[in-house]
Amino acid sequence: MDNLKSHQGFAQTFKDNTLTIGLGFPLESYEGSFPKMDLEEQMLLAKKSESLGFASLFVRDSPLYNPKLDDVGALYDPWVFLSYVAAHTNQIALGTSSIVTTLRHPLHVAKSAASLDTISKQRLLLGVGSGDRPIEFPVFKVDDHEKAALFRESIVVMKKVWKESFPQIQTERVEMLQGDVVPKPILSDIPILGTGYSGQTIEWLAKHTDGWFFYSQGVNEQRELVKKWREAAGVFKPFAQSLAIDLSENSNEAPKPIKGGFRSGYKFLIDYLHAYSDAGVNHVMFGLKNSKRPAAEVIQELGEYIVPHFSPNKQ
């Protein structure tokens, strides 16, 4: 864990007793299931976010489109897309929220993650999860009753192949008695953020991951959860959460709930984030899908009025 303090993505996103701000792709508001995700526009907004001091950009992993849900996710494969983002940015952390490790072979995930972390100069924050879309498991011929065990296996395997040369590994999906996975991460490790519980206990997650990515909930509930996480971890391991926002043009507008978050003016949002910072939350990733305003306007306003309050370098 100590070596991750020099990991560029981890260091600029996470600091004890500090809250930072990130954004989730697609950087646009849209109705229905499919975003446009125009690549030129997305890269312009990604670079804009970086210049304004946002700590991170996260992309979702949605292996299959489920028409019964109202959102396809980030549309593109996360590894391909984040590689493209890495080529158009320089410093901002690049996160996954989250790679569904139960549906991907752990050696493939380990190689993809190590490749992206190296290409991006240590900017990858590897969010991982066990998957929550029931239709995907039978399609990939994975028993969803085994997903908690497969999630544990994936983390153990990845950490081992990043650290060791020609490791000997025998697990449910891996029979590695020869060969090696390259490239190795520069630090022989990549920060892994568990998402939700993924079928695990807090104690297991605190021991085997480098941070926890959770869902938006009331500040008192989040404070209690952060407290349990801190007690289980024993050392600083960051706690992050997502939040859907619809930023009003009226800076004083009071909050109104929307799915996964709220609509409000930026003044309430500042107070909200200070409350969650006091509760121990270290990072908040904004989702813009339900925004009524163009993403460029929202990102600009967040960069001017919100981000300066929440920076790892703020005194």
The domain limits of the chain are: 2-309
Task: Identify the pLDDT of residue 148.
Answer: 97
User: In the chain, what percentage of residues exceed pLDDT 70?
Assistant: 98
Task: Identify the pLDDT of residue 66.
Answer: 86
pLDDT at 247 over 80: yes
pTM: 0.96
Q: Which is more confident, 68 or 89?
A: 89
With tokens 């320089």, the residue in question is: 90
Residue 270: count other Cβ atoms within 10 Å of its Cβ.
Answer: 16
Task: Identify the pLDDT of residue 315.
Answer: 44
36-62 pLDDT, tens per residue? 999 999 999 999 999 999 999 999 999
Q: How far apart are CA 276 and CA 51, in angstroms?
A: 25
178-223 pLDDT, tens per residue? 999 999 999 999 999 999 999 999 999 999 999 999 999 999 999 9
- Per-residue pLDDT band for 132 (boundaries 50, 70, 90) equals confident
Task: Identify the pLDDT of residue 313.
Answer: 64
pLDDT at 314 over 60: no
With tokens 């990102």, the residue in question is: 299
User: In the chain, what percentage of residues exceed pLDDT 90?
Assistant: 91
Minimal CA–CA distance to 5: which of 154, 159, 129, 122? 122
Task: Identify the pLDDT of residue 1.
Answer: 67
* Element spanning 89, H or E: none
With tokens 């011929």, the residue in question is: 141
292-306 pLDDT, tens per residue? 999 999 999 999 999
Q: How far apart are CA 92 and CA 86, in angstroms?
A: 9
The mean pLDDT value for 234-262 works out to 97
**Average pLDDT, whole number, for the chain?**
95
Q: Supply the CATH classification number for the domain 2-309.
A: 3.20.20.30
The mean pLDDT value for 144-151 works out to 96
